[in-house]
Amino acid sequence: MQLTGKRILIGVTGSIAACKIPELVRLLIKEGAEVRVVMTPSSSDFVTPQTLSVLSRQAVYSKFYHPDGSWVNHVELGLWAELLVIAPASAHSIAKMANGICDNLLLSVYLSARCPVLIAPAMDMDMFLHHSTQRNLKMLVSYGHQLTGPSKGELASGLEGPGRMEEPEIIFSKILQYFTGLQKKRKKKVLISCGPTREAIDPVRFISNRSSGKMGLALASEFEKYGYSVTVVAGAGVEKPASLNAEFISVETASQMYQACMNFFPLSNIIIMAAAVADYTILEPEKNKIKKEGKKAFQLTLSPTVDILSEMGKRKTRQQFLVGFALESNNEEKNAVRKLKEKNLDMIVLNSLNDKGAGFEIDTNKITIISRNKKKVSFSLKLKTEVASDIFSFIQQQVHA
């Protein structure tokens, strides 16, 4: 059984194709999956909750409250799922999903879910071809969701054309493909460094920088979402988010970050150095707290740290994909391309300090990606979570090119 223990949530919306969903549930259960079903109120005109409950061996939900008045926790349902399959997805529900409208339980579950989403549209041909539906579907794809179908054929209206929901067997095979692909990816290891390092001046003071680690953490959760095995080496003060399962190594100094990164480097397929590693450390930190008594101006002697990314670039094999970051304030692109070449990277993510909303300690970023094969894409200002998704997609294209 290839789906043993896999948690699959099926969202059924109001379309005649809903009458085919019992077959999909049956196939999934037969393959060992745990299936739960959430229905929009109108979908029960086409298939009964009882049928889906019997086949899934679980209660089926469509309202925010159980018959006894207790609340159905849509967040819990959304977080429970490893894959959310919206099938059939009517034009109406697609429009609501694309625009964040949340007027029923299924849409609340959809907005709460952190897992990948597979959508099987079903509607009449002209509804499918309408500009608004096409635009809504494009929006859903831009959120990272996958579409299956619709296929062409005889429609409930009597028309012939695109709009038919994919047959349950096809949707089932897409679900199977998703989980087997995931298994392959799980074997793929990603190493992500993030956050600042701290270099001690004395036992209480240090030199550091303004990096928050947010960009690296967003990347970690993006890779995790798509099934990669993720290791995070996090600099000083970066906490592991509760939602992240990744192996999480906390370090403080540049030298500790070097050690930790190099331990995982040989095992990693994709390596992303998003950390703001100190370029210099204090040559001889004081063992005791420096007292101000009698001291006027004094000098700290700094010595260079090891450039971790350059070391990785020297040791990289053909199977590894190495990504660096560059934060620049002038000659941005020229400096980024120089770093890409000098450090032997496959790709560099450039942030400019001159771009408002980009850089440290904030939730947004504006990046340009430049690859070894001279592909360059500049993105608009976005949330770091969205930037992570752009970086993920770019890496995917490069790795599979």
In the complex, which residues of this chain contact ligand CTP (CB under 6 A)?
254, 273, 275, 277, 279, 305, 307-309, 324-327, 339
Residue 193 forms beta bridges with which residues?
Answer: 233, 273
Please tell me the distance from the alpha carbon of residue 24 to that of residue 29, in angstroms, as a whole number.
Answer: 9
Task: Determine the 3-state secondary structure of 370 from DSSP.
Answer: strand
| Least distance CB 277 / ligand CTP (angstroms) | 4
What's the closest the beta carbon of residue 359 comes to ligand CTP, in angstroms?
11
Structure tokens at 191: 């190493």
Helices (H), 31-130: 49-56, 74-80, 91-99, 105-112, 125-129
CB atoms within 10 A of CB 138: 11
Closer to ligand CTP by CB, 126 or 279: give it.
279
Please choose, from the candidates 231, 257, 262, 263, the residue with its C-alpha nearest in 3D space to the C-alpha of residue 244. 231
Shortest reach from residue 308's CB to ligand CTP, in Å = 3
Query: Is residue 331 among the annotated active site residues?
Result: no
* Residue nearer to ligand CTP on the CB measure, 117 or 345: 345
Name the residue nearer to ligand CTP (CB basis): 203 or 266: 266
Minimum CB distance to ligand CTP, residue 199 (Å) = 11
List, in sequence order, every residue forming a beta bridge with 86; answer none if it has no partner: 11, 119
Q: Which residues contact 114 (CB under 8 A, 6 or more apart)?
A: 78, 79, 225, 243
Per residue, what are the HEC states of 272-332?
EECCECCCEEECCCCCCCCCCCCCCCCCCCEEECCCHHHHHHHHCCCCCEEEEEEEECCCH
Nearer to ligand CTP, 31 or 355 (CB): 355
CA atoms of 50 and 58, how far apart (whole Å): 10
The two structure tokens encoding residue 192? 């992500």
The least distance separating ligand CTP from the CB of residue 374, rounded to whole angstroms, comes to: 19
Q: Which is nearer to ligand CTP, 186 or 376 (CB)?
A: 376
Q: Is 93 exposed, middle or buried (0-12, 13-18, 19+ CB in 10 A)?
A: buried
**Greatest extent of the chain over all pairs of C-alpha atoms, in Å:** 94
Nearer to ligand CTP, 251 or 254 (CB): 254
The catalytic residue among 209, 269, 335, 344 is 209
Smallest distance, ligand CTP to C-beta of residue 390, A: 17
Residue 363 corresponds to which amino acid? D
Beta bridge partners of 364: 383
User: Could you list the active site residues?
Assistant: 209
